[in-house]
C-alpha cells in the first residue's frame, strides 16, 4: 500500500498518523509512505527525526475575526492545493490519510479532486475546522468519539477510535516509578499539564503540597520544561517529602502510564485515547484555550460514563485538587470501577479498524 499522510501543527495531529503508520509496518502492509506538512509545524522536526520521507507546503490557518490575513490564507491554500496535486500525481498513492491541522486541508482536498481514495481521522468530540471543511469532499471519516458523528455526512462516518490507542494498549507496568525514586507498589497520582505544562495545574499542586506531603499515596508531578525553573524557585523554601517527585518532563510519557493509579491532566484527544486504552481513572482539567472548547466535550464523554472526574480550570485550586485526589486515591474499589468504565470506552484495535477502512476504499 502506498500512503500519503498529512496532519500537523500539534502532536495531537501527528502522533495518530505515526501510530497508524507503525501498525501498517507491523502488518507488512506499507510499501511506500510520504508525509506532507509545513516547515513551521512540529511535524517537520518529528517526522524527519524518524527518517520518514517528508514534503513541505506553505499554508496557514484562518483567523476567526475579520482580517486581511485571511486573504493570504486563501491564496496560500490555492497555491498549496496546486502543489499538493503535483506531489500526489508524482507519488501515486493508493490512499491519502489526514489527521487534522490546517496543512491537511490542501492535501486532502487535492487528492479528492484527483479521485484518489481519501480518509480523515477526527480525534475529538468536536470536529476541527479543517475536518469539517474536508468532510464534504473525502470518501470516509473515521471518528474516535460517537458524539462527533452528527457533524459529518452520516454515510461517510466510521467509528474507529484514535490509532494512538492501539499503540499503548496492552502495555504493562514496568517499574518506571523507580526512575523517580518512588515505590512501584504504592498507588501513585500523576499530575501532568501536557508537554508544555499548565500554569493553573502547577499552581494548584503548589497550594496542595503541604497536605500531599502527608498522604499515604505518592504524587509524580510533571511541571513542563518552560515552568520548571519557576517551580524550583517556589519549592526552594518548601518541604517535599519522599512520597512526592517533581520533574520538568518525562521522555516517552506513555511508558509511565501503566505504573500510575490515577492521572490528573488535560483532556486532549491523544491523552484520552491512551488512558482509555489502558483503563486509567482520571481527573480531567480541560484546557479553556482550545477551539470550540473541545477538551470539555472530550472530558464530559468520560465523565458521563463514570470513567473520569472533571474539574474546570476555574474551579481548580489546591483544595479542590486534594478533595478529588483523596476520593480516588483512597478508594481502590472506586478506582477499579472507573478503570473498567474507561476500558469500555477505549478502542484497543483502533489502528486496525482504520486500516480496514483504508483497504475497503482501495478495493
Q: Is residue 61 very low, low, confident or very high in pLDDT (cuts 50, 70, 90)? A: low
The answer to the question of whether 250 is labelled as a binding residue is yes
* Residue 157, phi then psi, degrees to nearest 5: -85, 135
Q: How far is CA 261 from CA 190, 204, 332, in A?
A: 8, 20, 9
The segment(s) of the chain belonging to CATH 3.40.50.2000 are 2-167+348-362, 176-345
- Predicted confidence (pLDDT) per residue in 278-289, tens digit: 999 999 999 998
Give the tens place of pLDDT for each residue, 330-362.
999 999 999 999 999 999 999 999 999 999 999
Instruction: State yes or no: 10 annotated in a binding site.
Output: yes
Is pLDDT larger for residue 79 or for residue 94? 94
Rg (CA), the chain: 21
Which three cell numbers mark 234? 517556589
Q: What is the Cα–Cα distance from 108 to 131, expressed in whole angstroms? A: 10
Q: Distance between CA 254 and CA 98 in Å, rounded?
A: 23
Residue 341 CB contacts under 8 Å (≥ 6 apart), including other chains: 305, 306, 307
pLDDT at 331 (0 to 100)? 97
State the maximum Cα–Cα separation within the chain, in Å, rounded to a whole number.
65
pLDDT tens digits for range 114-159: 999 999 999 999 998 899 999 999 999 999 999 999 999 999 999 9
Q: How many angstroms separate the Cα of 363 from the Cα of each of 34, 141, 143, 358?
A: 21, 17, 21, 9
Q: Summarize pLDDT for 227-257 with one digit per residue, the tens.
A: 999 999 999 989 999 999 999 999 888 899 9
- The answer to whether 295 is a known ligand-binding residue is yes
Higher-pLDDT residue of 212, 363: 212
DSSP E strand boundaries for 251-318: 262-265, 282-284, 308-310
pLDDT number for residue 41: 83
What is 176-345's CATH number? Answer: 3.40.50.2000
Is 60 exceeded by the pLDDT of residue 276?
yes
Give CA–CA dist 29/109, Å, rounded: 25
Question: Is 197:224 a contact under the CB 8 Å cutoff?
Answer: yes
- Asked whether the beta carbons of 78 and 56 are under 8 A apart, the reply is no
Strand, coil or helix: 139: coil
Residue 210 has which C-alpha cell?
A: 503541604
Distances (CA, A) of 235 to 97, 179, 192, 200, 213: 46, 21, 17, 16, 13
Question: How long, in residues, is the chain?
Answer: 363
Q: CA 209, CA 215: separation in Å to the nearest integer?
A: 10
pLDDT band at 12 (very low <50, low <70, confident <90, very high): confident
Distance CA 184, CA 335 (A): 17
Give the pLDDT band of residue 73 (cuts 50, 70, 90).
Answer: low
Q: Is the per-residue pLDDT at 72 higher than 80?
A: no
Which tens digits make up the pLDDT trace of 184-234?
Answer: 999 999 999 987 789 999 999 999 999 999 999 999 999 999 999 999 999
Domain 2-167+348-362 has CATH 3.40.50.2000: yes
pLDDT of residue 154: 95
Amino acid at each position: 500500500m502506498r500512503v500519503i499522510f498529512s496532519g500537523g501543527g500539534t502532536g495531537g495531529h501527528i502522533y495518530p498518523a505515526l501510530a497508524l503508520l507503525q501498525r501498517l509496518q507491523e502488518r507488512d502492509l506499507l510499501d511506500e509512505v510520504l508525509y506532507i506538512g509545513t516547515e513551521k509545524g512540529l511535524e517537520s522536526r518529528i517526522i524527519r527525526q524518524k527518517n520518514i520521507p517528508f514534503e513541505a507546503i506553505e499554508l496557514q490557518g484562518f483567523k476567526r475575526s475579520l482580517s486581511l490575513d485571511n486573504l493570504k490564507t486563501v491564496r496560500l491554500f490555492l497555491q498549496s492545493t496546486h502543489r499538493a496535486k503535483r506531489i500526489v500525481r508524482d507519488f501515486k498513492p493508493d490512499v491519502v490519510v489526514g489527521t487534522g491541522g490546517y496543512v491537511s486541508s490542501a492535501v486532502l482536498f487535492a487528492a479528492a479532486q484527483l479521485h484518489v481514495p481519501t480518509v480523515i481521522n477526527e480525534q475529538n468530540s468536536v470536529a476541527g475546522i479543517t475536518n469539517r471543511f474536508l468532510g464534504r469532499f473525502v470518501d470516509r471519516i473515521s471518528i474516535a468519539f460517537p458524539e462527533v458523528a452528527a457533524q459529518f455526512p452520516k454515510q461517510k462516518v466510521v467509528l474507529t477510535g484514535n490509532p494512538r490507542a492501539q499503540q499503548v494498549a496492552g502495555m504493562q507496568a514496568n517499574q518506571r516509578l523507580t526512575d523517580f525514586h518512588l515505590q512501584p507498589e504504592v498507588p501513585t497520582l500523576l499530575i501532568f499539564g501536557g508537554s508544555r505544562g499548565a500554569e493553573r495545574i502547577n499552581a494548584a499542586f503548589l497550594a496542595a503540597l503541604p497536605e500531599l506531603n502527608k498522604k499515604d499515596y505518592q504524587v509524580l508531578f510533571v511541571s513542563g520544561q518552560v515552568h520548571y525553573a519557576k517551580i524550583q524557585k517556589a519549592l526552594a523554601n518548601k518541604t517535599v517529602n519522599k512520597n512526592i517527585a517533581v520533574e520538568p518532563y518525562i521522555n516517552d510519557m506513555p511508558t509511565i502510564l501503566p505504573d500510575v493509579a490515577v492521572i490528573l491532566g488535560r483532556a486532549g484527544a491523544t491523552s484520552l485515547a491512551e488512558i482509555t486504552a489502558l483503563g486509567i481513572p482520571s481527573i480531567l482539567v480541560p484546557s479553556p484555550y482550545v477551539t470550540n472548547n473541545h477538551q470539555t466535550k472530550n472530558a464530559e464523554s468520560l465523565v458521563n460514563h463514570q470513567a473520569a472526574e472533571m474539574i474546570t480550570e476555574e474551579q481548580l485550586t489546591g483544595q479542590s485538587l486534594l478533595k478529588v485526589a483523596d476520593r480516588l486515591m483512597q478508594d481502590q474499589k472506586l478506582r477499579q470501577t472507573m478503570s473498567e468504565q474507561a476500558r469500555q470506552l477505549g478502542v484497543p484495535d483502533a489502528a486496525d479498524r482504520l486500516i480496514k477502512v483504508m483497504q475497503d476504499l482501495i478495493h
